[in-house]
Amino acid sequence: MTKSINITLNVWRQKSAGVKGGFETYHAANISTDMSFLEMIDVVNEQLTLDGRDPIAFDHDCREGICGMCGAVVNGRAHGPEEGTTLCQLHMRYFSNGDTIVIEPWRAKAFPILKDLAVDRSAFDEIIVAGGYISVNTGGAPDANAIPISQEIAEKAMDAAACIGCGACVASCPNASAMLFAGAKISQLALLPQGRPEAAQRALAMVRKMDELCFGNCSNERECEAECPKEISISNIARMNREFFKAGIGSAVM
Amino acid sequence: MLDAKIPSGPLSEKWDKHRFELKLVNPANKRKYNIIVVGTGLAGGSAAASLAELGYYVKNFCIQDSPRRAHSIADQGGINAAKNYQNDGDSIWRLFYDTIKGGDFRAREANVYRLAQVSNHIIDHCVAQGIPFAREYGGLLANRSFGGAQVSRTFYARGQTGQQLLLGAYSSLMRQVGAGQVTLFPRREMLDLVVINGQVRGVVVRNLVTGDIESHAADAVVMCTGGYGNVFYLSTNAMASNVSATYRAYKKGAFFANPCYTQIHPTCIPVHGTYQSKLTLMSESLRNDGRVWVPKATGDKRPPNQIPESERNYYLERKYPSFGNLVPRDVASRNAKAQCDMGKGVGETGFAVYLDFKDAIRRDGKDVIAQKYGNLFQMYEKITASNPYEDPMMIYPAIHYVMGGLWVDYNLMSTLPGLFVLGEANFSDHGANRLGASALMQGLADGYFVIPYTIGGYLAQMDHTEVTTDHSAFKEATQYVNEQTGKLLSINGKRTVDDFHRELGNILWEYCGMSRNDDGLLKARKLIQELREEFWKNALVPGLSEDFNQSLERAGRVADFLEFAELLVMDAFERKESCGGHFNEAHQTEEQEAMRDDENFCHVAAWEYKGDDTEPGRHKEPLVFENVELTQRSYK
Ligand SMILES: Cc1cc2nc3c(=O)[nH]c(=O)nc-3n(C[C@H](O)[C@H](O)[C@H](O)COP(=O)(O)OP(=O)(O)OC[C@H]3O[C@@H](n4cnc5c(N)ncnc54)[C@H](O)[C@@H]3O)c2cc1C
Ligand code: SF4
Ligand code: FES
């Protein structure tokens, strides 16, 4: 049933990249439990605006859990307390009257803060540039049914392809590692016959790029898997490592 | 008169013939051409990647922090192609015919035929990119049927088809970034178009992080900025979807076609509160297995499971025996509204109907249904806290897509030479109503398979005088943008921008939504003018221009919506017929279906901007049907 709750927010405010930030406290009254978390911030922002204060900057777009644009650490957990849920799909019914909610941006060296809760995740794009594709030009493809792919493999590839590139895995990892993100892409393409020819080269290039971009190593903490809103499995990291070893130079990164 | 430049000859040979006749740019020369692509959705991403593969140098802009997040990512249901893998009688001709008919005979035959022709190549290319489409046990691709079609021609990747197709285009794009052929400009908003000597030669954009106004020159601009559904405030579109890019092109001379053709999608989660920021679509693929019903008795408030079969009205199945729950979107939407207006609606507000999976679960088992729709059911439950495996979903129509957009010819070029428009931003292929799973098809057709050819035809013959951003036209555009921003920040009123946007949305939904009449439209026009006036006196836009200022971004978009809305309403007013998504109450059959007036309105209406204080001009492009017979759409 719909209810209204009153809550207190402790929100990280930072004017721009590289300047000092800090927490500020806001009170949000009469928040409907049917609201999404971002709608709750909208309401707070409307009030801040009317009060002549700077509204909280935060990234978002689809508000359906698919674009990967939103994200913040809520009470110490990336995307908040609900499993398998992005911040935009988290609803206020998971909070209670009188709660205090702490909201912080993703924190990782590779994701500098731009303002308040918005961070720069272009490092993810760079990892994809390094090899997250199949080298095929428009125009020359054979008939789509020319290569049958078993349903099981297609489904596994789809599981990995579900990654939305939100960065929660990095934000929740004590080493700020991007292995789950990269592993998901490498796995998706390595599982499919179309992706095999470049599999080793791809793994090598993407892993090297991660190092270069200051993402940390994986020490099997499994926090990424626990916080990933798309429940991407860490078996993808194992598959990435296998591809990487096949490429012949494992020791440098492990 | 507008010349669509449709090639002569038989329908099925037009595209081949045209490709042969188009001038080619010599491969060595391609790298001398700079092309700006605005937008990284299915249309923009595929166009930027394909043009770069050909050797052009591409600058690609988007609002989001990464090209992978364009609104296209949210498409759920699937993409059509005329593969006929199911051997169920599909063909290029059938896909063509269904699309023309679905669009209520308000699209161009030649464009739609080309779309059907290239549809098969799209699927081939996407599979080659590594898109994990759903497959049968034998390993071949699976298909499903989708609203408005009687064959199974829709390819899908769970309920995330758009995500997978967009990530495919994105991966090709990133490969070209790596190759140095594409430079990305994320977190940029295009705020003006630069026209020099009658040719579009660049854009002015705002850097959304620093607030800097940047100029970029090119030999041609390809706009793929998506649809303007957010003019209604509540829609299924992503929050940043806007009309600004296309509207500012309109103000620079590009004609805007059929703005009143807006699509209302029948299966969305109903509105539940004033704080609501957007609506969520439940893919219409659900209508393959879900049955739509309302209680027979007015005001029946019993929980759905306590309403016996005999007291339920499966109104779509009853009224349209051959298409049943799969009637096109406009028909399904209007029928839902009609039921609710009669007081049969369900849920707290009475503005909802049931979509029930009980019979499908009984027939196929829960696992099969979960495999098909699992993520949609999960999304529904997250939002509503109700479990669709147990209780029927509640759905209601919402704005979802716009068929209107910048006018383009067969080459996808607007009335401004050098400005090409692709994807939802153009008006070209869907007539007055778009069928399910065909926007993805069109966006990718435009980007992968049309623009790579047609842009060459333009570049090969354009006046190629070198232009740099020092040109006075860039200075003027920059000044205009700065003035506009300065004005917004200095209003210092008392109402937030969102509050204006919400009110605008209410006006449009009330008077220019699912059904329209002359009195309502006149009233809407007046209300919009008043609201716009108030906006410029009383809006409160906080912050600075040289900053990451999301309030300012929204203010600019809402200011454009407030102007554009009036054009939309005028277009609806002038179209004295009903067709597809445009339902004018004065023009309906006895059975309350849309009634076209082919004698007077079998044309595209393309609007020309003539100044802020002058009425825009309405131009006509007559639609000529040589291959199909215009009939009253019937889905009975
Ligand atoms: C929830 C939902 C589900 C859908 N499901 C389906 C489906 O199953 N099948 C189907 O065929 N269709 C579906 N559609 C329709 C389809 O999503 C769209 O028509 C299609 O994605 C539009 O693609 P596009 O490339 O034209 O534009 P978009 O994907 O909207 O991309 C627009 C791009 O332009 C950029 N942009 C916009 N304005 C500016 C500016 N001023 N400056 C700079 N950049 C700008 C944006 O950043 C973005 O990159 C669905 C739509 C919705 C809302
Ligand atoms: S792996 Fe999960 S957490 Fe990491 S970017 Fe992808 S979806 Fe987000
Ligand atoms: S806003 Fe798109 S995933 Fe949250």
| B162-181 residues touching A, CB cutoff 8 A | 163-164, 167, 170-172, 174-175, 177-178
Using a CB-CB distance cutoff of 8 angstroms, which residues of chain B are in contact with residue A93? 385
Distance CA A190, CA A198 (A): 8
Among the listed residues B278, B210, B270, the one whose alpha carbon sits nearest the alpha carbon of residue B240: B278
Question: In this complex, do A62 and B139 lie within 8 Å of one another by their Cβ atoms?
Answer: no
User: Which tens digits make up the pLDDT trace of B592-601?
Assistant: 788 999 999 9
B361: left (phi over 0), alpha (psi -120 to 50) or beta: alpha
Please give the full DSSP string across B48-97, using - where no structure is assigned: HHHHHHHT-EEEEE-SSSSGGGSGGGG--S-EE----TT-SS--HHHHHH
Ligand 3 centroid to residue B485 C-alpha, Å: 28
Question: In this complex, do B135 and A151 lie within 8 Å of one another by their Cβ atoms?
Answer: yes
How many beta carbons lie within 10 A of that of residue B2, not counting itself? 16
| B555-574 residues touching A, CB cutoff 8 A | none
How many beta carbons lie within 10 A of that of residue A23, not counting itself? 12
Distance CA B149, CA B157 (A): 19
Local confidence band at B283 (pLDDT 50, 70, 90 cut-offs)? confident
The answer to whether residues B4 and B108 touch, using CB atoms and an 8 Å cutoff, is yes
Which atom number of ligand 1 is nearest to the Cα of residue B284? 8
User: Which tens digits make up the pLDDT trace of B296-334?
Assistant: 999 899 999 999 999 999 999 999 998 899 888 888 999
Among the listed residues B223, B188, B221, B227, the one whose alpha carbon sits nearest the alpha carbon of residue B206: B188
The answer to whether residues B604 and B255 touch, using CB atoms and an 8 Å cutoff, is no
Cα end-to-end span (Å), chain B: 38
Q: Walk across the sheet containing B34-38 and list its strands.
A: B182-185, B57-61, B34-38, B220-223, B419-421
Among the listed residues B519, B617, B604, B602, the one whose alpha carbon sits nearest the alpha carbon of residue B567: B617
In a domain, B416, yes or no: no
Q: In the numeric block, which tokens belong to residue A251?
A: 């020791």
The answer to whether residues B527 and B503 touch, using CB atoms and an 8 Å cutoff, is no
Q: Is B68 on the interface with A (CB under 8 A)?
A: yes
Distance CA B482, CA B476 (A): 10
Nearest chain A residue to B155 by CA distance is: A144
Nearest chain B residue to A31 by CA distance is: B275
Domain count within chain B? 2
Q: Where in chain A is the domain with CATH 3.10.20.30?
A: 4-104
Please tell me the predicted confidence (pLDDT) of residue A182. Answer: 98
State the burial class of residue B403 (Cβ atoms within 10 Å of its Cβ: 0-12, 13-18, 19+): buried
The most distant pair of C-alpha atoms in chain B lies apart, rounded to whole Å, by 75
Please tell me the predicted confidence (pLDDT) of residue A251. Answer: 42
Using a CB-CB distance cutoff of 8 angstroms, which residues of chain B are in contact with residue A120? 65
The answer to whether residues B6 and B131 touch, using CB atoms and an 8 Å cutoff, is no
User: What would the CATH number be for the domain defined by A122-250?
Assistant: 1.10.1060.10
Indicate whether residue B70 lines ligand 1 (CB < 6 A): yes
Candidate list B188, B329, B434, B633, residue with the active-site label: B329
User: Which tens digits make up the pLDDT trace of B453-489?
Assistant: 999 999 999 999 999 999 999 999 999 999 999 999 9
Local confidence band at B147 (pLDDT 50, 70, 90 cut-offs)? low
Ligand 3 centroid to residue B541 C-alpha, Å: 24
pTM check: above 0.90: yes
Q: Are residues B501 and B582 both part of a single domain?
A: yes
Q: Where in chain A is the domain with CATH 1.10.1060.10?
A: 122-250
> Containing H/E element for B256?
strand B256-257
Indicate whether residue A181 lines ligand 2 (CB < 6 A): yes
Question: In this complex, do B272 and A34 lie within 8 Å of one another by their Cβ atoms?
Answer: yes
Ligand 2 centroid to residue A225 C-alpha, Å: 8
Strands A22-32 and A118-119: unpaired
Q: Are residues B381 and B493 both part of a single domain?
A: no
Which atom number of ligand 3 is nearest to the Cα of residue B239? 1
In a domain, B529, yes or no: yes
Strands A100-104 and A77-78: unpaired
Among the listed residues B268, B264, B373, B401, the one whose alpha carbon sits nearest the alpha carbon of residue B328: B264
Indicate whether residue A11 lines ligand 2 (CB < 6 A): no
Distance CA B379, CA A83 (A): 13
Distance CA B396, CA A45 (A): 29
> Could you list the pLDDT tens digit for every one of the 254 residues in chain A?
678 999 999 999 999 998 999 999 999 999 999 999 999 999 999 999 999 999 999 999 999 999 999 999 999 999 999 999 999 999 999 999 999 999 999 999 999 999 999 999 999 999 999 999 999 999 999 999 999 999 999 999 999 999 999 999 999 999 999 999 999 999 999 999 999 999 999 999 999 999 999 999 999 999 999 999 999 999 999 999 999 988 865 444 44
* Choices 3.10.20.30, 3.30.565.10, 3.30.70.1230, 3.40.50.880: CATH for A4-104: 3.10.20.30
In a domain, B205, yes or no: no
Q: In the numeric block, which tokens belong to residue B265?
A: 């999608």
Please tell me the predicted confidence (pLDDT) of residue A30. Answer: 95
In a domain, B501, yes or no: yes
- The mean of the pLDDT values for chain B is 95
Mutate to test the interface with A, among B124, B272, B502 (most CBs of A within 10 A): B124
Q: Is B291 a catalytic residue?
A: no
Select the more confidently predicted residue: A180 or B1.
A180
B202 pLDDT exceeds 70?
yes
Distance CA A164, CA B168 (A): 13
Mutate to test the interface with B, among A85, A127, A133 (most CBs of B within 10 A): A133
Distance CA B99, CA B94 (A): 8
- Cross-chain CB nearest to A165 (options B68, B125, B132): B68
Q: What is the ipTM of this complex?
A: 0.97
| B516-545 residues touching A, CB cutoff 8 A | 540, 542-543
Nearest chain A residue to B53 by CA distance is: A137
User: Which tens digits make up the pLDDT trace of B249-265?
Assistant: 999 999 999 999 999 99
Among the listed residues B392, B419, B395, B391, the one whose alpha carbon sits nearest the alpha carbon of residue B406: B419
Least distant ligand from the CA of A64: 3
Q: Is B479 on the interface with A (CB under 8 A)?
A: no
User: Which tens digits make up the pLDDT trace of B403-460?
Assistant: 999 999 999 999 999 999 999 999 989 999 998 899 999 999 999 999 999 999 999 9
Please tell me the predicted confidence (pLDDT) of residue A253. Answer: 45
B508 pLDDT exceeds 90?
yes
Please tell me the predicted confidence (pLDDT) of residue A250. Answer: 46
Q: Is the dihedral of CA B242, A163, A73, A39 positive or negative?
A: positive
The answer to whether residues A89 and A64 touch, using CB atoms and an 8 Å cutoff, is yes
User: Which tens digits make up the pLDDT trace of B540-579?
Assistant: 999 999 999 999 999 999 999 999 999 999 999 999 999 9
- Cross-chain CB nearest to B135 (options A54, A124, A149): A149
Among the listed residues B72, B58, B49, B34, the one whose alpha carbon sits nearest the alpha carbon of residue B185: B58
- Cross-chain CB nearest to B50 (options A42, A138, A151): A138
Please tell me the predicted confidence (pLDDT) of residue A254. Answer: 42
- B239 three-state secondary structure: coil
> Containing H/E element for A32?
strand A22-32
| B365-424 residues touching A, CB cutoff 8 A | 379, 382-383, 385
In a domain, B326, yes or no: yes
Distance CA B601, CA B609 (A): 21
Assign residue B358 the CATH number of its domain.
3.90.700.10
In a domain, B564, yes or no: yes
Strands A100-104 and A73-74: antiparallel
Query: For B467-546, where are the E strands, in sequence order?
Result: 495-496, 539-540
What residues contact residue A169 under an 8 Å CB cut-off, 6+ apart? A78, A177, A178, A179, A180, A181, A224, A225, A227, A228, A232
Distance CA B419, CA B243 (A): 16
The answer to whether residues B146 and B80 touch, using CB atoms and an 8 Å cutoff, is yes
Q: Are residues B379 and B479 both part of a single domain?
A: no
B148 pLDDT exceeds 80?
no
Assign residue B573 the CATH number of its domain.
1.20.58.100
Q: Is B449 on the interface with A (CB under 8 A)?
A: yes
Question: In this complex, do A194 and B126 lie within 8 Å of one another by their Cβ atoms?
Answer: no
Distance CA B550, CA B64 (A): 12
Indicate whether residue A123 lines ligand 2 (CB < 6 A): no
CA distances to A22, B211, B228, B405, B555 from B206, rounded to whole Å, are 28, 6, 20, 23, 14
In a domain, B417, yes or no: no
Distance CA A167, CA A87 (A): 12
In a domain, B374, yes or no: yes
Going by alpha carbons, the residue nearest to atom 6 of ligand 1 is B75
Distance CA A121, CA A103 (A): 18
Q: Is B83 on the interface with A (CB under 8 A)?
A: yes
Indicate whether residue A234 lines ligand 2 (CB < 6 A): no
Q: In the numeric block, which tokens belong to residue B517?
A: 């009449």
> Domain of B387?
264-400
